[in-house]
Amino acid sequence: MSKFLVTGANGFAGKHLLKELLDGGHEVVAIGGSQVPHVVATDGVQYRTLDLTDPAETEKIDFTDITGVVHLAGMTSVGASFDQPMQYMMVNIGIEINLFETAIKQRVEPRFLIISSGTLYDPQASQPLNEESPILPNSPYAVSKISQEQMALYYETRGFETIIARPFNHIGPGQGLGFIVPDLAQQIVAGKEVLVGNLDAKRDYTDVRDIVRAYRLLLEKGHSGEVYNICSGKPLSGHEILDGLCKAADVKPVVKQDPAKMRPSDTPLISGSHDKISKDAGWQPEIPLDKTLADVIADWRSQTS
């Protein structure tokens, strides 16, 4: 049995990752924000509320028996980063530094999985995007993620094994509003007309439960110093997502385009390749889209019943 530390444990992917690790028979130390109790041990998970931007708070973590770290915590909104560039840089890079430096002080070297993002790639690059495709620092968020990757490589020179994951769009039950799938699902379940933006753009969607399984496999089998895409390799348009959600809900709502939801520019296609993680870690996406969307609809119905 291994013991893993998960930062950002109360986020969308974090909650699913805890279940994935527990189902694998592992112990988990979960670090979250104010939404979780201060210290709670239950079902193999020890929850702690810590401000990881504070070095003194981070040093309260005991790394001595931690096998691996999945670092999910940080600021994640691309749009908000334009208004808060300094905060994004300080928080996203600072938390990572605090974690590594705490481990160094405790003279231990757990394996680190740094969660970056598939949004780093230049959308004008040839599709599908692989780990060698050019990246484009087109937002403060992207710059902070690129910096996190570089910082991880620095700490590899200090003796750590570090792996970088670049997940593309992940979807599934428990995702908050502000993304296409939950935004559409909420409107469909509410029985109202569905207001949409541009549904022509195609994106690479993967079930979050497949994503977190990839995280576990990368911790176990990923090669240190390497970058791995996590994606389905099957781009879908917003129309296909909407049709799938309507089928799952067994409804035919009135759909109207909302000018407020339209973006000035929208890259027509983003698709990734998962060949590298499949080769090194044996990962393939397994959950079919119709199950993902059915689970999303069921989740929203459970919240409104």
For residues 211 and 285, the answer to whether their CB atoms sit within 8 Å is no
The architecture (CATH level 2) of 173-203+234-271+287-304 comes to Alpha-Beta Complex (3.90)
DSSP per-residue string spanning the chain: --EEEEESTTSHHHHHHHHHHHHTT-EEEEEE-TTS-SEEEETTEEEEE--TTSHHHHTTS--TT--EEEE--S---HHHHTT-HHHHHHHHHHHHHHHHHHHHHTT---EEEEE--GGGB-TTSPSSB-TTSPB---SHHHHHHHHHHHHHHHHHTTT--EEEEEE-EEE-TTPPSSSHHHHHHHHHHHTSPEEES----EEEEEEHHHHHHHHHHHHHHPPTT-EEEE--S-EEEHHHHHHHHHHHHT----EEE-GGG--S---SB--B--HHHHHHH-----S-HHHHHHHHHHHHHHHH-
Low pLDDT (below 50) residues in the chain: 37-41
The CATH number of domain 3-170+205-230, selected from 2.60.40.1120, 1.10.101.10, 3.40.50.150, 3.40.50.720: 3.40.50.720
Tell me the per-residue pLDDT of 145-178, one tens digit each, with 9 for 90 and over: 999 999 999 999 999 999 999 999 999 999 999 8
What number of CA atoms fall less than 13 Å from residue 156's CA on the CB side? 17
Q: What is the pLDDT of residue 39?
A: 44
Q: What is the pLDDT of residue 44?
A: 74
Distance CA 37, CA 102 (A): 23
- How would you class 282 by CB atoms within 10 Å of its CB: exposed for 0-12, middle for 13-18, buried for 19 or more? exposed
Give the CA distances from residue 9 to residues 17, 29, 72, 74, 210, in Å, rounded to whole numbers and listed in that order. Answer: 8, 9, 7, 11, 17
Closest C-alpha to 158, from 238, 100, 235, 115? 100
Q: Where are the chain's structural domains?
A: 3-170+205-230, 173-203+234-271+287-304
Distance CA 143, CA 220 (A): 28
